[in-house]
Structure 1
Amino acid sequence: MASLVNSGNTAVRSSDAQPRLSTKNRSANMTALEKYRLLRENRKVVRRQKLEQEKRQISS
């Protein structure tokens, strides 16, 4: 990762120098493919959590 030098002569990553974007702004800058991949990953996580919860309910 590229490093920048600030006035205090300490190295700072360029990603840290940029302001953080809110989720809404970040999604506006994403391509359709990136949004689709993120959506699929979120669905996988939710599905996995539901299965784990069902397993816990069955075993108890």
Structure 2
Amino acid sequence: MPDPDALVGAVRRARAAGGIRCAWWSPCPDNLSGTIARAATVSRLAEAARELDLVVVPE
């Protein structure tokens, strides 16, 4: 799971540079480490997706 604030910053920078980011792919549990995100992290990521009008694609 990405850091919610890092995701927001990355999407905003991409959009400011002319790139259009409209989807976020979300592996859970994390494919590399097998860890599961805390509920607070998932909740903040959902808020960020709403704020940025992103489609979340869960795995």
Q: TM-score, normalised by structure 2?
A: 0.35
- More contact order relative to length (CA 8 Å, sep ≥ 6): 2
Q: Whose radius of gyration is greater, 1 or 2?
A: 1
